[in-house]
Amino acid sequence: MSEECSSQARDGTPVELNSSGCNQLIDVVVPLPIYMALTYILSGHTLFPPKGSRVLVPVGRRNMVGVAWGTPAKEPPPVDLKKVKRILDQGPILPEPLISFLEWTSSYYFYPIGQVMAEALPPGLLSARNRRISQITNGLPKSRDCRPEFLPWSTEVPLHLTKEQKEAFNTICDALATRSYHPILLHGVTGSGKTEVYLRAAKECVKQGRSVLVLVPEIAMTTQAVGWFVGRFGEEVTVLHSGLTEAQRRNQWFRIKKGESRIVVGTRSAIFAPLADIGLIVVDEEHDPSYKQSEKFRYQARDMALLRGRMSEATVILGSATPSVSSFKNSLSGKYQLVTMEKRVAKRSLPEVVVVDRRKKEKKDQHHKLESARPEWLSKELKDATEDTLARGEQVLLFLNRRGFATYIFCPDCGHVFRCPHCEVTLTWHRGDKRSKSEKDGVLRCHYCGMESAALPVCPQCMGQAVKTFGYGTERIAADLDEIFPNARIARLDRDTVRTRRHLEDVILDFRKGRLDILVGTQMITKGHDFPGLTLVGILCADLSLNFPEYHATERTFQLLAQVAGRAGRGERPGRVLIQTWLPDHYVLDCVTTHDFKAFYEKESKFRKALAYPPFGRLINLRFSGRKKAQVCDTAGNVARLAKNLAKGINNTGGPQVEVLGPAPAPRAKIKDRYRWQILLKSSSLSNLRTLCSGLLARKADMVPSSVRMEVDVDPYSLL
C-alpha cells in the first residue's frame, strides 16, 4: 500500500483516492459480539468514508451495516479480504467526541465496541434490510415528522429562591463559568426545590452557548421532568427514552445531531445522545438503581455521566435526597463538591413519620363489624388515618413494591407450590378486572419470562381443586380499597397498568390535579413526583427489600422509604407517613423516622468498610448461563480455578489482594430455561481486578463452550 493512499485514508473528510486507483484498507465496526474491528478493502476511485459513517459490508454469508473506524493500525494477516459493498453516509453519523466516549465505555465494561455502538444509535440505523437502507439518504430517515408531543407541566417561574437554592445555584454558576469538569453532589431533602435549581442552571448553560443533558431514572419520571423543561424552554427540549416509537426516537436523535436542540431529557440511554459541546449534565435521583442496565451491556449511566462530563469539560450535578453511599463518600473525600439543601421551600416541614409495629396483636373491636373485615395488610392505624385524610378532602398514597393480586399459590391438600417451569420462582396471581366475580378469572404469571397459565387450576400433583393463595400485591390492595372506601377515586400505577406513556401521564396528572383520592403503586411512584394535595403516605411492608441477599439491601431500603415518605406534605398542608413493619427496631427505620441521612451513612459505611464492599472495594461479577445445568456448573468451575491461579500471581506482587468468590449458583438459579452460576471478583484495586478479568477473557474461547454464555458485569448492582 502506498504512503499516499495511507495518508489520505486517515484524513477526517471524504477525499477521492489518488489517480492510481489503488485499493485502500478500512476498519469497520459491526454490531456483533467481537472485540475488534473487521478489515475490508475499499475500491479505488471511491471516496474514503470518515470515521463514524455507515457502510454496508459482507459478514459471512450475509450483509451487515457497520461503521467506518479508520484505517487499520497494523497490517492485517495474509488472508483474502472482502470489499465494502456500499457507503451509506456522506458524513459521519457518530460525532468524534461520542466515538471516543463509546471506545472508553467498551474498554471499561469489557463489552464489544460494535454492540456498544448499536446501543448508542437509534433503532433501525444498523439494519441491513433493503427496505430500511432504501429509506435512508445521507443518514436521515425519509419519514414524516413524527416528533412526540410533550405538554408543559408549568410555565410559572418562582420570583424568589430560598437561601439554600440561591447558594446552590451560585455554586453551579461558578462551576459553569470555569468551562471545565466540575462534579457536584447536590444533597437536598425532598421538596427542597432541586428541580428549580436544575432549570436555572440549564438556562445559564444555554446562555453560554453550550448544551444540557438531563438524566432521570425511569420513564415514569420523564413526564414531570420533561413537563418542567418544556414549560421553561419550549421547542428547545428533546426527549430520549425507550418508551418512544422507533420513528420518534430516530426523529429526536437526529434533531440533537443537527443541533436543533441543545437540551436533552431522558433515561439512562440518553447518555449516548449526540450532543455537541456539553456544558451541563444533571443526573436526578442519582442513587436510583435504574441507572444501571441489568442485562447485555451492563453500564452505569451515572458513572458514564461523570466520564462524559470529564471528556466534555462540563459541570456534572448528581442530585438526590438520599445519595448513594459511594457518591456521598466521594463528596466527603473532596472528589465531588458537596452542596446541601436541608430545608423545604416555603418553610414547609418534613412529614411526620410514624412506625407501626405489626408484631403487636391488635385487639379486635367486637362491636365494630367492619373492623373484623379489615384485610391483614391494613393496620388499624393506617385505616383510621386514611379515613381521616379522605374526610378532609386530601389525598393518600400507598406504596408496596410487589405486583399482582396474590404472590404465592399452593395446594393445601398436598403442599404443591405453583412455580414457573422455565424459572425457579413462584407464579403470581393476576386477577384482572376488579369487577370480575369469579376468583378463577385472570392468570398465573411469571414476572421474569412472562409465562402465563390459567388462574387457580387443578393441582397437577394430587388433582385437588382447593387451590389457595397467599400474599398480596398492588392489585389486591386496590381491589380491597374499592370495597373499604367505595366512594373514593382510586388508581394503580405499576408495570401491569402502565401500558402506554399516555396512560402513565394521565394517571400522574390526575393525581396531581386532585382528580384522584388514593394512588396505589410500586417504586415508580416514589421518585421525584410532586403532588401538592398528598398528605398521607402509607408504606405497607417496609421489610421486603431488607431481606434481599444483596450487600446494599439496607441502603436500598432507606432510599425507598425516604423517597416515598418525601412525597407527603409538599403542598400547603403538612404530611404524615405511616410505615408498617415487623422489624421496628432496625436502624434503617430509625434514620427514616428522623430524616437523618448522615446517621444512616455513618452506620452503613462501617459495615461496608469492614467487609470491603463498595465504595471501599471494587467488584466484577462473572455470570454464566446455559440450558444444561451440569455444563454451566463445570464451565464456571473451570473458570474459577483459572481465576484463582491468576489471582495468586497478582497477590504475590505485594499489592492489593484479589479475592475470587465462588463459583456458586445465582440466588435466582434458573431464569428463562437458563441455569445461572456466577463468580465474584473482589479487591480494593480496580486495576488488579481488570488485570485478572483480562487474563480470563483471553482464555475464554478455550474454556467457555458456545452453548454457555459468559458475561462480565463491572461494578455490579444486583447479584441476584
Q: Which amino acid is at 317?
A: I
Mean of the pLDDT values across residues 237-246? 86
Confidence of residue 501 (pLDDT cuts 50, 70, 90): low
Q: Report in angstroms the alpha-carbon separations of 593 from 5, 113, 260, 352, 407.
A: 71, 47, 47, 8, 29
Higher-scoring residue by pLDDT: 223, 680: 680
Is-contact 316 171, C-beta < 8 A?
no
Is-contact 660 640, C-beta < 8 A?
yes
Task: Give the strand pairing for 490-493 and 468-470.
Answer: unpaired
For the four alpha carbons of 544, 674, 243 and 555, in that order, the dihedral sign comes to positive
Mean pLDDT taken over the chain: 87
State the alpha helices, DSSP H only, in 17-121: 96-108, 113-120
Q: Does the pLDDT value for residue 11 go beyond 80?
A: no
pLDDT tens by residue, 324-335: 999 999 999 999
**Residue 567, C-beta contacts closer than 8 angstroms, at least 6 positions apart:** 190, 397, 525, 526, 529, 531, 534, 537, 575
Is-contact 188 220, C-beta < 8 A?
no
Helix, strand, or coil (residue 55)? strand
Helix, strand, or coil (residue 340)? strand
pTM of the model: 0.90
Q: In angstroms, rounded to a whole number, what is the distance separating the alpha carbons of residues 50 and 94?
A: 10
Confidence of residue 354 (pLDDT cuts 50, 70, 90): very high
β strands within 208-277, DSSP E: 211-215, 237-240, 263-266
Burial of 415: CB neighbours in 10 Å, binned 0-12, 13-18, 19+: exposed
β strands within 496-629, DSSP E: 518-521, 534-539, 576-581, 618-626
* pLDDT above 70: percentage of residues in the chain: 89
**Residue 439, C-beta contacts closer than 8 angstroms, at least 6 positions apart:** 431, 455, 456
Burial of 718: CB neighbours in 10 Å, binned 0-12, 13-18, 19+: middle
pLDDT tens by residue, 357-381: 988 755 444 444 445 568 989 999 9
Helix, strand, or coil (residue 26)? strand
The DSSP secondary-structure symbol of 683 reads: E
Question: What is residue 427's predicted lDDT score, i.e. its pLDDT?
Answer: 93
Question: What is residue 12's predicted lDDT score, i.e. its pLDDT?
Answer: 40
pLDDT tens by residue, 605-648: 999 999 999 999 999 999 999 999 999 999 999 999 999 999 99
Task: Give the strand pairing for 443-445 and 428-430.
Answer: antiparallel
Higher-scoring residue by pLDDT: 595, 455: 595
pLDDT tens by residue, 383-432: 999 999 999 999 999 999 999 999 989 999 998 999 999 999 999 999 87
Confidence of residue 442 (pLDDT cuts 50, 70, 90): confident
Ordered by where they begin, the domains of the chain are 3-141 (3.40.1440.60), 163-346 (3.40.50.300), 348-403+473-610 (3.40.50.300), 406-471 (no CATH), 618-714 (3.30.70.600)
